[in-house]
């Protein structure tokens, strides 16, 4: 009988999978927008990491990289930050074959699940990275090279003392804006009212960005419901969407 693949074997084969856990000392001082949730991986997830990481995951290059060249076919690139389980990510990619999608997520359970779905469908327009999106944007992504950003239900960090962990803050918003091509967009959604207001304030004040709507955006019909959206709706939270563009 074939022996079961273990996470240790997979990491030995592709050490980058574990980068987030063993990140360099200087990086530890940065405030993180996530906490790592450990969840035991199933056989298909482990096998996907073993067999499909090389083909469908993007590796850290540590330097400015032509992100268009990371896909089998060159198309405009949309980056999704924090795709969670990736259910809506794969649907959007399948329904938009004219675009390339780069999903960035640190949560290994969701990352490996999306990896086997991409491999099963042999999609050529969706690739994923298990990395801190801030590092990817700061180091790898050239300015003016991204068609759009999708940030769906970023962690709300509700306690005041944790607000500095929220992704959408002035510095990060400027970083996003600098990476957008002219006419590119930032599309973000939250069920957390006070964070929605913060996003609206921060994005409105970010030089170079314009709100396509007067305040919150209309619901974007091609966005499928996400896992965290379902949780929010179960708690009767209102969903707020924001759509900003680079002038």
User: Contacting ligand SAM (CB under 6 A), which of 57, 77, 81, 180?
Assistant: 81
d(CA 130, CA 26): 19
| Of 67-75, 105-113, 202-210, 214-222: span binding ligand SAM (CB under 6 A) | 105-113
Please tell me whether residue 149 binds ligand SAM under the rule CB under 6 A. no
Binding string, residues 206-235; x marks residues near ligand SAM by CB under 6 A: --------------------xxxx------
Binding string, residues 32-51; x marks residues near ligand SAM by CB under 6 A: -xx-----------------
User: Contacting ligand SAM (CB under 6 A), which of 57, 154, 177, 202?
Assistant: 154
- 155 classed as catalytic: yes
Q: Which CB atom, from 5 or from 130, has the smaller least distance to ligand SAM?
A: 130
Please tell me whether residue 166 binds ligand SAM under the rule CB under 6 A. no
Please tell me whether residue 105 binds ligand SAM under the rule CB under 6 A. yes
Q: What angle do CA 132, 218, 34 make, to 5 degrees?
A: 15
User: Contacting ligand SAM (CB under 6 A), which of 10, 41, 67, 106?
Assistant: 106
| Of 44-52, 82-90, 203-211, 233-241: span binding ligand SAM (CB under 6 A) | 82-90
User: Choosing from 155, 201, 214, 218, which is the catalytic residue?
Assistant: 155
Q: Which CB atom, from 39 or from 210, has the smaller least distance to ligand SAM?
A: 39
Catalytic residues: 155
């Amino acid at each position: 009988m074939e022996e079961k693949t273990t996470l240790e074997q997979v990491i030995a084969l592709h050490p980058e999978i574990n980068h987030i856990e063993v990140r360099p000392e200087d990086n530890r001082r940065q405030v993180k927008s996530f906490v790592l949730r450990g969840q035991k991986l199933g056989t298909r997830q482990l096998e996907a990491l073993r067999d499909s990481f090389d083909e469908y995951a993007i590796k850290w290059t540590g330097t400015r990289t032509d992100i268009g060249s990371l896909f089998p076919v060159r198309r405009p690139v949309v980056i999704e930050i924090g795709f969670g389980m990736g259910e809506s990510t794969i649907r959007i990619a399948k329904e938009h074959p004219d675009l390339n999608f780069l999903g960035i997520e640190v949560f290994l359970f969701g990352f490996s699940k999306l990896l086997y779905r991409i491999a099963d469908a042999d999609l050529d327009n969706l690739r994923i990275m298990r990395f801190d999106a801030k590092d990817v944007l700061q180091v790898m992504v050239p300015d003016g090279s991204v068609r759009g950003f999708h940030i769906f239900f970023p962690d709300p960090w509700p306690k005041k003392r944790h607000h500095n962990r929220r992704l959408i803050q002035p510095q990060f918003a400027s970083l996003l804006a600098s990476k957008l091509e002219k006419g590119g967009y930032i599309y973000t959604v939250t069920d957390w009212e006070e964070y929605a207001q913060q996003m609206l304030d921060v994005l409105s004040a970010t030089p170079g960005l314009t709100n396509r709507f007067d305040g919150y955006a209309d619901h974007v019909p091609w966005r499928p419901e996400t896992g965290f959206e379902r949780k929010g709706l179960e708690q009767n939270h209102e969903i707020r969407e924001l759509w900003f563009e680079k002038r």
